[in-house]
Structure 1
Amino acid sequence: MSLLSEEDLNDFISPALACTKPTEIKRTKVKSNVNALGEYEVGVDDGEDEVLEKVTITLSDCLACSGCITSSEEIMLQQQSHGVFLEAMSKRDITTKLAISISPQCRLSMATYYGMDISDFDKCFANFFQKRFDAKYVVGTQLGRNVSIQQVVKKLTDWKKSKEYEVDSRPRLSAADPGFVIYTEKTKPDLVPLLLNVKSPQQITGALLHETFDKNHKTETQPDTKLYVLGVMACFDKKLEASRPDSAGEVDCVITPKEFVAMLSELNEIFEQYKSPSDDILSEMCPEGWDPELHWCINHGSSSGGFAYQYIVSRQRTLSSELIKDSKIMKLLGKNNNICEHRLINVKTGETIASASELSGFRNIQNMVRHLSRGGPKGTSSFPKRRVQSLRKRQSSTNTTSTTTSGTTTGRLGTLVAQPYSSEFIEVNAAPGGCLNGSGLLNGEQSTVRKRQFTQQLEERFHSSFTMVDPLDITQWNTSEILDSDRVYEYTFHAAEPQDKQKDIVTVGNTW
């Protein structure tokens, strides 16, 4: 059973009034107890009762529905919980091997919960799954994130050069957050074309694990050998992503740190007892051909993936040597802490060369939708421009630039203000603050203020707790043997059929 509760949800929209199951209904003839006169007969001659087929609603049914959206669909989960994982393990035979992937947000959350540093936690985590479930692979998600970032950068670069950009220059939107993707597909069909169809690190990591396993272990003598992939992710919404039809066969089950702790309790296991004295455990659990250290790293940028920042870095690197010297990457804060813009400018002319933004939280998403929904020429909005005079006055004394590139400095921005809707790309997250505020993480604080403070502490620790890797420099990866440069990892987005307006009512949960 999933540990999801309404209090945990920060990416929650309650179900619409109309909850339907628009899938094929298999009709079978059933003997009726109503006679030709319309009278109900209490008994039948053969003395046998007709047992009707039990009605079930699966997660895939929810994803095909235009009613419920985001985490409210977790109520109907059948294939995504630690209970289902344990059942699968109990039925596993020798032909099925186990692989586990875990996101850096979960590693930090669980290491903090168990009072360990990241390195000790990683070894303990790998040792637990090796000893308890005979796991074959245990990996971080950075290799998948590297591939995802590379493909996001390529698609954005190609789009900027295409005629499509001339027709519709509205910013492209990231698709790494399944809650936002489902919300867009089901309620904002006009924005579906803006979604950048690149899969998330979770799904790409799962696909790479399967590709590696099949290449090294599926042979003519062992054709039935298969891999079961468990993902440990920060948000309950990541379960929805694994259940998409276009994600089938990549990740079999997704659980959160909260569910992991509950699973240990059910198994009467003490996690700390699996501390590994061996530094080789991570290498032993590393897939063939993978760099044993790279997939445990992170990259510069936001703690939710850094897609926006890495795109701007890639744009800076394409400049000529002369222009690079005159360029600077600035980080501009928005009207609240959940909006920022990475702007690449020419410091001599003040020209904006490129821009990408980060935006999280449902209220900010609603504002973004209003600005990006069609209402004028070339994708402009019919809504009035927001007044920024007071905002500029406030930010002129607080905003600072932030950059990690050589030759740049940090200083006041004056009247410069983040303009996310004018960016080329927006990295969107449903949870306010992004993945480190994921509803599945181990934040035991009760009050909203203390929860926010705890999340901020995790944010401060995030970039200092992991080794950094450059996702744009493939020469650092040491994984050329397993990566197919021509392979693309894409979603297929579908805008749901609009409901009757009276039925299309949603209410916002209490922690947005």
Structure 2
Amino acid sequence: MSSLLSESDLNDFISPGLACIKPTETTKEEPKAGNELEVGKESNDLEKVSISLQDCLACSGCITSSEEILLSRQSHTVFMEAWKNLPEDTLLAVSIPPQCRLSLAQYYGMTLGAFDNSFVSLMRNHFGARYVVGTQVGRNITIRQTNSELVERKQSQKTNSPALCAVCPGFVLYAEKTKPELVPYLLDVKSPQQITGSLLKEAAPHIYHLTVMPCFDKKLEASRKDGEGEVDCVITPRELVSMLQELQLDLRSFVSDVEDNSLIETCSPPGWDYRVHWASNEGSSSGGFAYQYILHQSKLYPDAEILTIEGKNSDIREYRLVDGTKTVASSSQLYGFRNIQNMVRKLTSSGASARNVKVLRKRASGGAQRTGTASLVADPTKTDFIEVMACPGGCINGGGLLNGEQNSTKRRALAKSLEAEYERSIPPVPLEESTGHDPRVYKYTFTAVEKSSDVVTVGNTW
């Protein structure tokens, strides 16, 4: 191996293409009458190309975003400018998911309870936020509507192909721009980020919604036309830390009595139980959508057992609901771009190779491990539903989290530590105890992006 290549150079994250390709339309003014023309000579002045966030969405060159991409509408500096100029009748609302809370708590050396208390106090007392919420209410709606669509899809028996979770914008952009054959597989239920934003916008006539998310791709998701207005600005934990450093603010100085949840309750919108929207659910730290589908189906088969089957690497896991000798429902988790590529090959071609796996007990209490399951093969492409995430390790290892410039081994070790803390510190709330029937259906509109032959090529470092 070359001495110039180190382990830190090898990773499984989706990066921008070597060239960013942006379709452009250039209009030239017609010469006015009476003007002199010099034949055979053209102006050397090149027209400046401005690349906006919407261009990234309309482009077919990059797979996804990264820190190198200039996001014109989504940054902490944009938020600061908007915050300073908020109209008097506009309220600030802030949302944050569990992955970001854990990452920031670890960075500041705080317990999760102390961080939550400090974060709400910071947003309320310094930035004047009216609402500061977790994203579990939105996630519960995503889970319920996902389960509903999956059951309807399974009952219709129109296809044996798995539905693909679409809450990861990195994967969605990859599918829309480079793998149009995957678009029909995408489940059109919106993510917790967008649903939380939509619910907050209903809490008052004028709301500015800032959300802290673990992934830079969430900025692009907030700018989709089918989600416009639900989120005004997305920043990552890295950007939040940078913003506080620029303001010379120490988050730890805002901590008060950790046992006192009165401020957290005060900053909850009407009808929102803080014990719900600051909680989580059973399943993976990326949302638990695959496991929640199996739990939902298990209510129809009280005597069935849930088998958890590990794949050839830690980023593949399958859940099977088995009633006697029959598999009545199945789902899987599949994280990381290498696994996504393998999934695409299998979905678009026939044949699958067997591999050795080991079966673990189901995560929830009461799960029994079946004997003689060592021969079972975890194959996400044969399941009803795949929880797909672009980042290896899922959202707990998102590119916007505070994992520093560590190599891949240290990053994964930190992600495992946060995963353990996720299960230990964030109480799961049963889905039926969250909210009642959803008055609205939250859906995306997915389309394959066609490449243009009239393009301007720009280097990926701007």
Matched, 1:455 2:449: no
What number of residue pairs does the alignment pair up?
A: 448
Candidates 286, 310, 313, aligned match of 1:336: 313
Partner of 1:67: 61
- Offset of residue 353 of structure 1: 1.1
- Offset of residue 447 of structure 1: 2.7
Contact 2:294 2:320 (C-alpha < 8 Å) held by counterparts: yes
- Offset of residue 75 of structure 1: 0.8
Deviates more, 1:239-248 or 1:484-493: 484-493
Partner of 1:282: 264
Partners of 2:42 and 2:202 lie apart in 1 by 59
Contact 1:235 1:441 (C-alpha < 8 Å) held by counterparts: yes
Aligned pairs for 1:360-439 within 5 A: 360-373=335-348, 381-382=349-350, 384-386=351-353, 388=354, 391-392=355-356, 395=357, 398-404=358-364, 406=366, 408-409=368-369, 413-439=373-399
Partners of 2:162 and 2:362 lie apart in 1 by 22
**2:307 partner letter:** M
Partner of 2:291: 309
Partner of 1:46: none
For each residue in 1:270-312, what CA deviation from the matched residue of structure 2 results, as whole angstroms up to 9, or x when unmatched? 1111113343110110001111210000000010000000001
Partners of 2:251 and 2:321 lie apart in 1 by 46
Candidates 136, 141, 153, aligned match of 1:159: 153
**1:230 partner letter:** L
Q: Which runs of 5+ in 2 are unaligned?
A: 1-7
Task: State the identity %.
Answer: 47
Distance change (3 Å), C-alpha of 1:273 and 1:491:
same
Distance change (3 Å), C-alpha of 1:142 and 1:25:
farther
Partner of 2:4: none
Contact 2:361 2:367 (C-alpha < 8 Å) held by counterparts: no
SS at 2:202 equivalent: helix
**1:159 partner letter:** R
Partner of 2:85: 91
Candidates 257, 261, 265, aligned match of 2:245: 265
- Offset of residue 68 of structure 1: 1.6
Aligned pairs for 1:139-218 within 5 A: 139-162=133-156, 165-166=157-158, 168-213=159-204, 218=205
- Offset of residue 142 of structure 1: 0.2
Partners of 1:62 and 1:41 lie apart in 2 by 31
Candidates 12, 36, 39, aligned match of 2:14: 12
Partner of 1:221: none
Matched, 1:103 2:97: yes
**1:11 partner letter:** F
Distance change (3 Å), C-alpha of 1:54 and 1:338:
same
For each residue in 1:161-210, what CA deviation from the matched residue of structure 2 results, as whole angstroms up to 9, or x when unmatched? 22xx33x3210000000000000000111110100000000100000000
Q: Which runs of 5+ in 1 are unaligned?
A: 1-5, 43-50, 219-225, 374-380, 508-512
Name the Cα RMSD after superposition. Answer: 2.9
Aligned pairs for 1:447-486 within 5 A: 447-471=407-431, 473=432, 476-477=433-434, 479-480=435-436, 485-486=438-439
For each residue in 1:150-169, what CA deviation from the matched residue of structure 2 results, as whole angstroms up to 9, or x when unmatched? 0000011111122xx33x32
**1:231 partner letter:** T
Contact 2:93 2:210 (C-alpha < 8 Å) held by counterparts: yes
Matched, 1:256 2:231: no
Distance change (3 Å), C-alpha of 1:87 and 1:177:
same
Distance change (3 Å), C-alpha of 1:39 and 1:417:
closer
Distance change (3 Å), C-alpha of 1:350 and 1:235:
same
Partners of 1:115 and 1:227 lie apart in 2 by 32
For each residue in 1:102-160, what CA deviation from the matched residue of structure 2 results, as whole angstroms up to 9, or x when unmatched? 01000011111112111111110010011111000000000000000000000111111
Partner of 1:134: 128
Contact 1:62 1:73 (C-alpha < 8 Å) held by counterparts: no
Contact 1:401 1:412 (C-alpha < 8 Å) held by counterparts: no
**1:90 partner letter:** K
User: Which protein shows a greater Rg?
Assistant: 1
- Offset of residue 56 of structure 1: 1.6
Partners of 1:260 and 1:156 lie apart in 2 by 37
TM-score after normalising by structure 2:
0.90
Deviates more, 1:107-116 or 1:173-182: 107-116
Distance change (3 Å), C-alpha of 1:233 and 1:33:
farther
- Offset of residue 408 of structure 1: 3.4
Partners of 1:55 and 1:414 lie apart in 2 by 58
Partners of 2:451 and 2:290 lie apart in 1 by 31
